[in-house]
Amino acid sequence: MLGTIDTGAHVLQRRARVVMLGSAVFMLPMLALNLLLSALAFREFDGFDSMFGERGYVGVESTSVFVAIVVQSYTAHLVGAFGAQVLVAYQMGGEPTLGHSVLCVARRLPMLTLTWVLTHWWAVLAALLVVSEPELAAGLSTFAVPFIALCTACVLLTVPVLMTEDRGVASIGRGFQLARTRFGASFVYVLVCGMMGGLLFVFISELPVLLEQTGLITFGSYGYLIEGITSQIALLVVIPLSALATAQLYLQLRVSSEGADLSLAADRAFGRRA
């Protein structure tokens, strides 16, 4: 499993401009929305909370959390499609370009949206639970992590299948069929990737705090804004890396279960079959 993440990091390093700029195309709306809501939550928290009450998702705090979870989930779905397009082309000996890769994702945007709704409806329910019953959500978190990892493993390969094999809604079943061939490995991959991604996110996002603690630099009243920006930069690294690693896992499962390496070698030698 570490090999897939290492390969994803390798492609990210070798094609950093394409991966980062292409991911930014889909992530910039999320970054702008999250920064705006973070600023509102910090500056107007007391006023809005007293106006709308402490509970529910009507107040700024609750609304910002709900929107952040849902939008980030959808954006990660799109970035996953972009990462799959780049990595598969790179691993097949091609030269992925920014424009072509973004265009391929844009062409499949309606189907990507539909597959996100069908495979990530639980993320919306989880977001509602977090904002409406935070104490209950915290109590269930111990049991929720394995359950979420299990659900994620079932639909993990939907996006790579959709981008590579273009099967439409059937990509959900095809992705589960591939994951089932080595479901234990897929489940462990979700846990390891989530843990490593979380650690990397915390390290990058907490850099301003560490810098202030050294006493060499202070951000004053702009500290919250700097922390918000570094958090979004952390997402701009973690989400594409996870997307590339997942696409590499898809290729590895196809190689181990279907001998896809032989098929790809034949296509390179004799041309792709119709």
Does the pLDDT of residue 224 top 80, yes or no? no
Does the pLDDT of residue 110 top 90, yes or no? yes
Burial, 207: exposed, middle or buried (Cβ in 10 Å; 0-12, 13-18, 19+)? middle
Place of tokens 């992925």: 96
**Distance (Å, whole) CA 116 – CA 161:** 13
Place of tokens 């091609």: 94
Mean pLDDT of the chain: 79
Instruction: Give the count of alpha carbons within 13 A of 219, CB side only.
Output: 16
Identify the CA nearest to 157 among candidates 106, 88, 104. 88
- pLDDT, residue 173, reads 93
Average pLDDT over residues 255-269: 60
Q: Please give the residue that has the higher pLDDT: either 84 or 134.
A: 84
Model confidence, pTM: 0.80
Does the pLDDT of residue 12 top 70, yes or no? yes
**Distance (Å, whole) CA 32 – CA 38:** 10
Average pLDDT over residues 221-243: 82
